[in-house]
Amino acid sequence: MNDTHDLTTYSASKLAELIRNNVASSEEVVEAHVSRIKKVNPRLNAVVVLTEKSALKSAREADALTKKSKSLPPLHGVPITIKDAFEVAGVVSTGGTLGRKDYVPDKDAIAVKRLKQAGAIILGKTNLPEISMGFESSNLVYGKANNPFDIERTPGGSSGGEASIIAAGGSPFGIGSDAGGSIRWPAHCCGIVGMKPTTGRTARTGHWPAFSGIFSLVTQIGPMARSVEDIALTLPMLSGPDGVDPTVMPIPLKDPSEVKLSDLNITFHTDNGLATPIDEIQNAVKGAAKILETKVNSIEQRTPEALKMSASLHSQIMGADAGETARAILKNAGSNAMDPNLLSRINMMSTSPAYLPDFLDMLVELEEYRSKLLQFMVSTNTDVMVGPAAPVPAALHGHGYDGFPENGSYSHAYNLAGWPALVMRGGTSKEGLPVGIQIISKPWCEEKVIAVALELEKNLETFPGPKI
């Protein structure tokens, strides 16, 4: 292929097609993305480990296979990046903490293994907050990641490095983890697509720190990309039991192409009653609703009253141990210092652990919240909701927690519910920053979320990318 620069603008789906059809070689594709990373990463600090040598070796092997076989896996020869919370065999996997700065695992996280089996080639690891806990991607091992639209701003957290390099064209696709918006907040900040599946959809084995206790109730692994079609392509690869993660359910993932938009009833809201979004975000949601009104059975503006419970409930539950879980993780890792952003997050929690009766009351309130949200969907006959991804665009460094927890409530709401939620770009702020819209459905209905997102992707304007 003559113009390898174009290769960094294509989706993973398109790159796979080009490689299969011998229009471009995997080696060309990998080289183009490595070159792009080397160009932009000094300003972004998004990629913290670049596996150039092994990636090129894998690319040459992929090209040799292309010539021999007509039966190729769906991501054959396509380069991807991996959030540093996921273990990659033979590659330093720090989780963003000093105690693991030299840790090299001997096997892949299950998500990484499945993507490799699908033919993907690992380009490197991406930046994140220490122990994946924070709305800013900063740690004492690698420093802070920057937003490609404005390096003075955060790319979000915890999958911020991943979102940053995807937005900047250094990687077509990656994976993140989401306990309170850690896929969707970076997607919103950087103008890409990110999806948190239904709780119990994807296996989390090999993610560090491991999920346990209350974290297990709210955390999922999901795909991140520049296009919805890549989300549709890769989510099935990440889904299903692995025989290790006990939370994963063997529930089939339905095909978005089989969804009839004309059968769907949609509700949308521009304000959850906790944090009023800026005008550009509200207009992005209204614009999406306008596109859908001729495509679906019905669309109506309605706000679930239960959403007002989400900010306080998420904060109470996640802070019920007063940060002791985080401190224990750091201690066990051998970390003797803590990133200031993580310390700030912990300091927002309760000063003492919740008494057992109080914690049990929180769990009762959680079930009440989930029930009320479900009742809204049933009583209004709603198949899909559309709303803001956040009330504000990417924050300046050091201001990621401004307005917390209300500003985080737009993402927290669906971690608490365990529902699938996808964030995609819907507009641009006055500062030229991307702003996202969020698409949500009931558990195990990812196909409806993706079908609506695909329709929006076809009809939304083409937004300007980063100038980096």
**pLDDT tens digits along 158-176:** 999 999 999 999 999 999 9
End-to-end CA distance of the chain: 24
Question: How far is residue 177's CA from residue 276's CA, in Å, rounded to a whole number?
Answer: 26
Question: How far is residue 124's CA from residue 166's CA, in Å, rounded to a whole number?
Answer: 12
Report which DSSP code applies to 143: E
Reported as a pLDDT band with limits 50, 70 and 90, residue 3 is low
pLDDT at 345: 86
The two tokens of residue 291 are: 């596109």
If 0-12 CB within 10 Å is exposed, 13-18 middle and 19+ buried, where does residue 3 land? exposed
Mean of pLDDT over the chain: 96
Question: How far is residue 390's CA from residue 425's CA, in Å, rounded to a whole number?
Answer: 12
User: Is residue 344 among the annotated active site residues?
Assistant: no
| 409-417 helix and 310-318 helix, angle to the nearest 10 degrees | 70
This model's pTM is above 0.85: yes
Largest CA distance in the chain: 67
Which whole-number Å values give the CA distances from 421 to 83, 105, 141, 393, 440, in the listed order? 20, 31, 31, 18, 4
pLDDT at 40 over 90: yes
If 0-12 CB within 10 Å is exposed, 13-18 middle and 19+ buried, where does residue 35 land? middle
Q: Which CATH architecture has domain 4-459?
A: Alpha-Beta Complex (3.90)
Residue whose structure tokens are 């192409």: 257
If 0-12 CB within 10 Å is exposed, 13-18 middle and 19+ buried, where does residue 360 land? exposed
Question: By the 8 A CB rule, do 421 and 457 touch?
Answer: no
Mean predicted confidence (pLDDT) in 276-302: 98
How far is C-alpha 454 from the chain's CA centre? 17
pLDDT at 346: 87
The two tokens of residue 298 are: 């019905």
The two tokens of residue 42 are: 């000094």
Given the residues 182, 315, 335, 411, the one annotated as active site = 182
Q: Kindly list the domain boundaries of the chain, sorted by start residue.
A: 4-459
Strands 298-301, 265-268: pairing kind: parallel
User: Is residue 93 among the annotated active site residues?
Assistant: no
Q: What is the pLDDT of residues 85-117, one digit of tens each?
A: 999 999 999 999 999 999 999 999 999 999 999
Residue whose structure tokens are 């596109």: 291
Comparing 217 with 162, the larger pLDDT belongs to: 162
Strands 121-126, 79-83: pairing kind: parallel
- Can you say whether the dihedral through the CA atoms of 441, 445, 446, 451 is positive or negative? negative
Given the residues 11, 13, 58, 83, the one annotated as active site = 83
pLDDT at 401: 87
Of 445, 450, 424, nearest in space to 256 by CA: 450
For 90, left (φ over 0), alpha (ψ -120 to 50), or beta? left
Those residues with Cβ within 8 angstroms of residue 89's Cβ, 6 or more apart along the chain or in another chain: 105, 106, 107, 108
SS3 223: strand
The alpha-helical segments, DSSP class H, found in 21-159 are 26-44, 52-68, 110-117
User: Is residue 298 among the annotated active site residues?
Assistant: no
Given the residues 11, 25, 137, 158, the one annotated as active site = 158
pLDDT at 212 over 90: no
pLDDT at 5: 56
Question: How far is residue 266's CA from residue 253's CA, in Å, rounded to a whole number?
Answer: 21
Angle CA(85)–CA(178)–CA(451) in degrees, nearest 5? 125
Phi, psi of 363, deg, nearest 5: -65, -35
Residue whose structure tokens are 């912990």: 346
pLDDT at 352: 78
Question: How far is residue 70's CA from residue 5's CA, in Å, rounded to a whole number?
Answer: 27
Reported as a pLDDT band with limits 50, 70 and 90, residue 2 is low
Reported as a pLDDT band with limits 50, 70 and 90, residue 215 is confident
Of 143, 236, 148, nearest in space to 192 by CA: 148
Those residues with Cβ within 8 angstroms of residue 435's Cβ, 6 or more apart along the chain or in another chain: 188, 278, 280, 281, 284, 389, 390, 393, 425, 426, 427, 428, 429
